[in-house]
Chains A and B, each alone.
Chain A
C-alpha cells in the first residue's frame, strides 16, 4: 500500500461488540495495490491531457458563440432558410447547443479521469441517529423555547394566531369563484344561442351544411357510403363571432352518413333518418375527441384517442372501448326547399359526461323527444317509422 494514502478511521465507537464480531468473521482485506495513470507518471502525458481538456472547453465555447450567430443570422419559421430539406434555423440552433453541451461534458469527464488526483479512499458508514447526548440537548432547548415564548401560559394569543392562520385559507377558496360561471348560470343567462352543457346551436329547421364551405345539402347529393363533416348553417350566417362562434362550432360538430336504409337496425335511428342518412355528434362521449374515422362497410365509428367504437346503424351504441354512453343522434328532416335540416337540437347533451348528467335509455330519450318535438317536426317531413 502506498504510504501517501491517508489513514482513515475504520470504525466509530458506537457498537464495539458488533465491530469485533464482524472483524473476526471477515478480516479487513485492505486496499488493492494502487496503479498509476500515464498522466501521473509521465509529465508529457499530463501536458497532453491538459491541452486536450482545454481544447474541448474551447470547442464548447465556439459552439455557444455559433448558437448566438445562428440565432440572429438565420431566418426561422415557415418560408425561412432551408438546408438539406430541414429548417436551417432549428438545425443550426439544435446542433450548436447540443455540441456546446457535449464538448463541455467530454471536457469535464476527461479532466476528472486524467488529471484530478486519483487515490482510493474508504469511508465507513456511521449510524443515522445522533448520539444520545445531542438528542437530550435538543429536547432541552425545545422545552426552554416553549417556556420562554409563553405558548403554554398565554393560550388566548396562541389560539388567536392559529385562528388567523386558518382564515388565510378563505381568500384562496373565495377566488375559486373566478373559475367562471356555473353551468346552471350559463344555461339560465343564455349569453349566446346554445350556451351551456345541455344544448347546442342546433334547432328545429336549422339547415345541415358542409363544414368549411358552408353549403346546404340535399339528400340526393349523397350516395350510399358518403360521409360528410357537417355544421349547422348558423355557424356560417355571420350571426356569431369570436369565442361564442368557436364554442358553438365545436359543440355542434356533426357527421352525416348515408347508408343503405336496410342496414339501420334500430327504430329510433330509423325515425331520425332521411333515406338512410343519419347524423351523429362528432364529439366522443369519453373525453371529447372529434371523431370521423368511419368504416364504410361496417358503419363503425372509431375514436382515435382511446379506440371507443360506436355503431352508427344502431343509435351510436358503444361496441368497444372506454366510452360510457352512446353517441347522441341528431334528428333529421327536409325543409320546403329540399335541404336537410335538424328537427330539433340534439335530444341529449353532446360531449363528455359531467356531474349532473343522467344516462337514459335511447327509447326513453325518444319518448321525451316525441312529446316535445314530433308535432313540430311534421312540417319537415317527419313521421315515425322513417322518411
Chain B
C-alpha cells in the first residue's frame, strides 16, 4: 500500500508539466476506445447478417412444418367453403410463435375443439429461428426478456409481495372466469377448455396474455400493462407455494369434485362397510356345554 502511495505521489509530482494533459487525454481515449471495441455488441451490419441467417433458417423450417396450414408466406389458408384452415401469421409476432411452438401446441397434431399441449417438436434454437421468420412477416409482439416476466427478478421481497397483492386482484378480475380462481382451468363451450396454468412457464403465461392464443382474449400492454402482467405472474407463482390449508383440494375444481368424493367415496365406503358387517355372521357350529345338541 505504501509502495502504491509512493508511485502515485511520484506521478502526482509531474501533473503540472506541459505534456501531462496531452498524455492523460491519450490514455483516456485509448482506454475508452479499447473498452468499447471489446465490450460493445456486434456491429449493426453483423447483427443484420445474423438476423438474416436466422430468418432464412426459420423460413426453411416454416416451409417444411407450418406452410401446409398457414400458407407458404404465412398468409393463412381458407378452404373453398370459407372455413379457416390455418390463420394468417402476418403480425402475430415472435412472442406468439415462441408460445405456440414452445408449449408444443404447434405444429398441431389434428384440428379440433382444443389444441393439445404436447412436448415441443423443436429445440429453442429452431423456435428462435421460426419466431424470427414470422416476426419478419409483419410487426408484432417480441419475445419478452426475463426481467419482464420472471418473479425472481424483483429487486426486493417487499416489491414482490406488493406485486403479488396487485396481481391477485387483477387475476381475480380478469383470469378466474375461465382459468378458475386457483388457476386450475375449466370447461369452455363446444368441447374446449381453458387449460390449467399451474405448470405453465412464466414466460409462456406472459406471452399468452400478450398474444391471446386460440380462443383466449388478448391482454395487450394497453389493456394490462407489462408491470401488471409481471404482478399477475408473481401471484400465479405464489399460489403454487400455498399449502392446502383446507385439506385435500380435489383438483381445485369446486363443488363437482367435492360432491363426487363425498357421495361416491364417502358414502360408498359406508355402504360397503355396512354390507361387510351384515354379510359376516358371528355364529359358529360349536354347541353350548350341557345343551342337548
Q: Which A residues lie at the B interface, using CB under 8 A?
A: 35-42, 77-78, 80, 82, 85-87, 90-91, 94, 109, 113-114, 118, 210-213, 217-218, 220-229, 257, 290-298, 300, 302, 304, 307, 309, 320
Question: In the assembly, what is the distance between CA of A40 and CA of B10, in Å?
Answer: 115
B107 touches A (CB below 8 Å): no
> In whole Å, how far is A262's beta carbon from the nearest beta carbon of chain B?
15
Residue of B nearest to A39 (CB): B282
| Cβ-defined contact, A223 with B244, below 8 A | no
Given contacts A36-B284, A86-B247, contact A228 B223 (CB under 8 A): yes
- CB within 8 Å for A296 and B285 given contacts A223-B220, A309-B189: no
26 contacts between A and B (CB under 8 A): A35-B283, A36-B284, A36-B286, A37-B284, A38-B282, A40-B288, A41-B288, A78-B245, A86-B244, A87-B245, A87-B246, A94-B247, A210-B223, A212-B173, A217-B222, A220-B222, A221-B223, A222-B223, A223-B218, A223-B222, A225-B212, A227-B218, A227-B223, A296-B212, A302-B189, A307-B189
Interface residues of chain B, those whose CB is within 8 Å of chain A, are 166, 169-170, 173-174, 177-178, 186, 188-189, 192, 194, 212, 214-220, 222-224, 228, 243-248, 277, 282-289
Min C-beta distance of B245 to chain A, whole Å: 4
A27 to B277, CA, bound (A): 33
Contact B245 A80 (CB under 8 A): yes
**A309 cross-chain contacts in B, Cβ below 8 A:** 189
* A212 CA to B248 CA, complexed, in Å: 31
| Closest A-B pairs by Cβ, 7 of them | A221-B222, A87-B245, A227-B217, A225-B218, A35-B283, A292-B177, A295-B215
B218 touches A293 (CB 8 A): no
Contact partners of B288 in chain A: CB under 8 A:
36, 40-41
Chain A-chain B contacts (Cβ-Cβ < 8 Å), number: 122
A276 CB → nearest B CB, Å: 13
B245 cross-chain contacts in A, Cβ below 8 A: 77-78, 80, 82, 86-87, 90
Say yes or no: A86-B243 contact (C-beta < 8 A), given A225-B218, A293-B178, A296-B215: yes
Cβ distance B233 to chain A, nearest Cβ, rounded Å: 16
Contacts of A290 in B (CB 8 A): 177
**What residues of B have a CB within 8 angstroms of the CB of A257 in the complex?**
217
Kindly identify which residue among A35, A212, A294 contacts B285, using a CB–CB cutoff of 8 Å. Answer: A35
- Least CB distance from A341 to B in Å reads 17
Contacts A86-B245, A291-B177, A296-B216; A113 near B282 (Cβ below 8 A):
yes
B170 touches A212 (CB 8 A): yes
A224 to B218, CA, bound (A): 8
Q: With A and B bound together, what is the CA distance between A94 and B247 in angstroms?
A: 9
Contacts of B283 in A (CB 8 A): 35-37, 118
In angstroms, Cα B217 to Cα A295, docked, is 7
What residues of chain B lie closer than 8 Å to A228, measured between beta carbons?
A: 223
* B243, A82: Cβ atoms closer than 8 Å: yes
Query: In the complex, which of the residues B218, B222, B244, B286 has the most CB atoms of chain A within 10 Å of its own CB atom?
Result: B222
Say which residue of B220, B247, B287 sits within 8 Å of A36 (CB atoms).
Answer: B287
List chain B residues, Cβ under 8 A from A218. 222
Closest to B179 in A: A293
Are A213 and B284 in contact, with the CB atoms below 8 A?
no
Query: Nearest residue in B to A309 (C-beta to C-beta)?
Result: B189
Residue contact B218 to A35, C-beta cutoff 8 Å = no
CB nearest neighbor in B for A307 = B189
Minimal beta-carbon separation of B94 from chain A (angstroms):
16
Measured in the bound complex, the distance between the Cα atoms of B285 and A40 in whole Å is 11
A89 to B246, CA, bound (A): 9
Determine the chain A residues whose CB is within 8 A of the CB of B220 once the complex forms. 221-223, 226
In the complex, the chain B residue whose C-beta lies closest to that of A218 is B222
Q: Tell whether, in the assembled complex, residue B244 and residue A87 are in contact, meaning their CB atoms are under 8 Å apart.
A: yes
Q: Are B170 and A35 in touch, CB under 8 angstroms?
A: no
Residue of A nearest to B189 (CB): A302
Cβ of A246 to closest chain B Cβ, rounded Å: 15
Question: Are B284 and A300 in contact, with the CB atoms below 8 A?
Answer: no
A82 cross-chain contacts in B, Cβ below 8 A: 243, 245
**Contact present for B282 and A37 (CB under 8 Å):** yes
Alpha-carbon gap, A367 to B271, bound state (A): 64
Tell me the complex Cα distance, A51–B149, Å: 65
Q: Which residues of A contact B277 (CB under 8 A)?
A: 109, 113
Asked if residues B228 and A297 are in contact (CB atoms below 8 Å), the reply is no
Given contacts A77-B245, A90-B245, A293-B178, contact A225 B189 (CB under 8 A): no
Question: Is the beta-carbon distance between A226 and B219 smaller than 8 angstroms?
Answer: yes
Contacts of B282 in A (CB 8 A): 37-39, 113-114, 118
Contact residues in B for A293 (Cβ distance below 8 Å)? 177-178, 188, 194
Q: Which of A36, A40, A217, A296 contacts B218 (CB 8 A)?
A: A296
Q: How far, in Å, is A84 (CB) from chain B's closest CB? A: 9
A22 vs B268: C-alpha distance when bound (angstroms): 42
Distance between A85 CB and nearest chain B CB, rounded to angstroms: 5
CB B81 to nearest CB in A, in angstroms, measures: 17
* Candidate in A91, A228, A298 with the most chain B CB atoms within 10 angstroms: A228
Distance A368 CA – B56 CA, assembled complex (angstroms): 60
Write the nearest CB–CB distance from B74 to chain A, whole angstroms. 18
From B170, B222, B247, B286, A226 is in contact (CB under 8 Å) with: B222
